[in-house]
Every structure is written in structure tokens, then in C-alpha cells.
């Protein structure tokens, strides 16, 4: 069949919406509560305009950059998103291959449907591991150790999810993890058994294991169990950016979790400037949320970001065209 020419990543979402079961599409697309922040993540980009300067020699352009000392082909990286096998049977393996082929960094979600080790087995690549802290600290140690041994280069600690955001379409659809798909990183644990026997409760069970007492002092603990740099994912204020500095974080990801956590927080592109100012160049500041075009990337860089991450575009392109789509 003749394929429509894809000219921007938003088009992948339209095709994915037709292709995916409603429950899966809604899980990927939805935000928390009124989805005000979800709209705003995009709208805020559209309010930022350029002041273009002319007659500058642009005959040689190099968009490659360095992130935590690693050379990558472009300042665009892959954000951690859960359960990619719902999009495509190859799941995170396809994302890993496509990201390596593109010469950039993939962040693997703790809630992946391929394991840390399976992703590492796809071949060389610069990869970060997204972590949440669970009540059972042995589980955290175990995950971190596996990420280290599999050659992952950094931990992206998600700090905006002490409990899971309320995404109403998931409630309406009675979202459950489709048969045959498991949260592979937890396989072998008791909690993995629990979600196998009680599939519908899997997400809420594991998110129920999140340690809600986790606070700044515990950042020191996390740093004490790993040699990997720890990035804080989910900072939105100057105050927290200064704490991130104080507690020795290796970098900040300005993120509102793709608007899936607390609704009525600002768009990330609106929060970026105050975070950048607060760290005074002492830490790299990254951004995710609503990045869909090269001009969005440029706006983030112009406002002081060291690079951006994309979430949903990688899921929808994976759903439409697997590894080729993501690449
Ligand atoms: C996410 N995100 C996320 N973040 C995280 O730290 N751990 C996770 O497991 C997930 N899972 C997840 C699933 C889905 C379906 C989405 C859409 C998002 C948040 C993600 O890392 C990132 O912050 C946002 O996706 C960025 O916004 P955009 O690019 O999707 O607009």
C-alpha cells in the first residue's frame, strides 16, 4: 500500500490513534485531571517568537553536542516512557536500536516491557536508566546495580511521582496491562508475581510501592549506592534547582512528566528560565514536555537548555513504524 509522506512527528500521533487500541492510545496520550498543563506544554512554545538575525554565515552547521561528557549527534534525546511493547512488539528494543542508530541517548523507563539487560544486548549505545525509589530499598539497589552492570551511563531519578497522577481516561477505560506484556525489570520479584495474578492492579500496585517519604536527604543515600551521575527529573522551580545544586545532583531535567502528574503546573518551557538562572551554569539543565519541532528545540536551547528529551513522539512513531519510525 502507498504510504503517506510523514512530514512532522505530530502526524505519527494521528496514525497511531487509528492503529492502537483506544485503551493504549489513551494511556500514551493522556495527561492528569483537566489536562490544562498538557495543552499548555504545547501552547507555551507557540507563544515564544524569534528575533532572527540576518547575514550570518550559516554554511557550516553542526548540531552535535556533549551531554555528561558523551558526544551525541543532536541535542535531542529519548525520555523514559513506560510499556513500549503496547505500541509495537519490539518495544524498547526498537527504541534502543533506533536511538543508537541516530547517535543519541535513550532513557529506559523502570516500567519497561523489555529488561535492562535485553536493552543492553541490542548493542552499543549511550543509555540512561530512569528510576523511582521504592519502599523496599533492596529493589532500588538491585535495579541500580543492574543498570551499572549493563553499561548505562546515568540515573534519571523521577522526583515528581510520589503518587501517580490521576489520568481520567485510564480510569474510564479500566486500563490494564495487555496480556503477554510484563514489567520486565521487576521480573523475579514478589511484586512481579502480584501483578501477574492481578493484572489490572499492576500499575497501581507498583506505584503503590513508591516510597512517599523519599526526600532531599535520601538523594545522598542514592548517590552513596552508585557511581553513576544522578539527574533529577521533574524540577520546575528555582528553589528546587538550588537544592539540586546543594545535594550534588549531576543535572536537572525540567519536566512535568508530560503533564501526567500534577495538573496546573506551568509548561516546562515557561519554567526553564528560572531554573537555568538559579543554577548559574553549575549544572546542565535539560527539558522535556511538548517538544515536537526543531523550532521547539531551538527555543529551549535559546532559553538555556543543554538539550531536550522527547516522550510521546517516540511512542507514536514506534506504534506506526517500529524502529524505522523512531529513527
Ligand atoms: C511518561 N513519562 C515517564 N517518566 C518517567 O520518569 N518514568 C516513566 O515510566 C514514564 N512513563 C511515561 C509514559 C508515557 C506514556 C508518557 C507519555 C510519559 C514522562 C516522560 O519521561 C516525559 O517526561 C514526557 O513524556 C515528556 O513530554 P512529551 O514529550 O511526551 O510531551
Say which residues have a Cβ less than 8 Å from residue 311's Cβ, sequence separation at least 6: 79, 80, 81, 258, 288, 289
Quick check: CB of 31 below 6 Å from ligand 1?
no
Kindly report the pTM of this predicted structure: 0.95
pLDDT at 189: 81
- Nine-digit cell at 43? 501552547
Ligand 1: centre distance to CA 26 (Å): 13
Residues with Cβ within 8 Å of 19's Cβ and at least 6 positions away in sequence, in order, are 319, 320
The pLDDT, as a whole number, for residue 195 is 52
Q: Is the CB of 165 under 6 A from ligand 1?
A: no
**Percent of the chain clearing pLDDT 70 (strictly above):** 94
DSSP state, residue 80? P
pLDDT digits (tens, 9 = 90+) for 141-182: 999 999 999 999 999 999 999 989 999 999 999 999 999 999
Which atom of ligand 1 is nearest to 259's Cα? 27
Low-confidence ranges of the chain (pLDDT < 70): 1-3, 190-205
Index of the ligand 1 atom closest to the CA of residue 315: 15
Q: Of the residues 76, 91, 258, 297, which should be mutated to test ligand 1's pocket, given the most ligand atoms within 8 Å of the CB?
A: 258
The pLDDT tens digits of the residues spanning 234-262 come to 999 999 999 999 999 999 999 999 999 99
- Report the C-alpha gap between 133 and 157 in whole angstroms: 8
Amino acid at each position: 500500500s502507498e504510504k503517506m509522506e510523514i512530514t512532522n512527528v505530530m502526524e505519527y500521533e494521528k496514525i497511531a490513534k487509528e492503529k492502537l487500541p483506544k485503551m493504549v492510545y489513551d494511556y500514551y496520550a493522556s495527561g492528569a485531571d483537566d489536562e490544562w498543563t498538557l495543552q499548555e506544554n504545547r501552547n507555551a512554545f507557540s507563544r515564544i517568537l524569534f528575533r532572527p538575525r540576518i547575514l550570518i554565515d550559516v554554511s557550516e552547521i553542526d548540531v552535535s553536542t556533549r551531554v555528561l561528557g558523551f558526544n551525541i549527534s543532536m541535542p535531542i534525546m529519548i525520555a523514559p516512557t513506560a510499556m513500549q511493547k503496547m505500541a509495537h512488539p519490539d518495544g524498547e528494543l526498537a527504541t534502543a536500536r533506533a536511538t543508537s542508530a541516530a547517535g543519541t541517548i535513550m532513557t529506559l523507563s523502570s516500567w519497561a516491557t523489555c529488561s535492562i539487560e535485553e536493552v543492553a544486548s541490542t548493542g552499543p549505545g549511550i543509555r540512561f536508566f530512569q528510576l523511582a525509589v521504592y519502599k523496599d530499598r533492596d529493589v532500588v539497589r538491585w535495579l541500580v546495580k543492574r543498570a551499572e552492570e549493563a553499561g548505562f551511563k546515568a540515573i534519571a531519578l523521577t522526583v515528581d511521582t510520589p503518587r501517580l497522577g490521576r489520568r481520567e481516561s485510564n480510569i474510564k477505560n479500566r486500563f490494564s496491562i495487555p496480556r503477554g506484556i510484563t514489567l520486565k525489570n521487576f521480573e523475579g520479584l514478589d511484586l512481579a508475581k502480584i501483578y501477574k495474578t492481578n493484572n489490572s492492579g499492576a500499575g497501581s500496585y507498583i506505584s503503590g510501592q513508591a516510597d512517599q517519604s523519599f526526600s532531599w536527604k535520601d538523594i545522598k543515600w542514592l548517590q552513596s549506592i552508585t557511581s553513576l551521575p544522578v539527574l533529577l527529573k521533574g524540577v520546575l522551580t528555582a528553589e528546587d534547582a538550588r537544592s539540586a545544586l546543594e545535594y550534588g545532583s549531576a543535572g536537572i531535567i525540567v519536566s512535568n512528566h508530560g503533564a501526567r502528574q500534577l495538573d496546573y503546573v506551568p509548561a516546562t518551557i515557561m519554567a526553564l528560565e528560572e531554573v537555568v538562572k538559579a543554577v548559574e551554569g553549575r549544572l546542565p539543565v535539560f527539558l522535556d514536555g511538548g517538544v515536537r519541532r526543531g523550532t521547539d528545540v531551538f527555543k529551549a536551547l535559546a532559553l538555556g537548555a543543554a538539550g531536550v528529551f522527547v516522550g510521546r513522539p517516540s511512542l507514536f512513531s514506534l506504534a506506526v513504524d517500529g524502529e524505522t519510525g523512531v529513527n
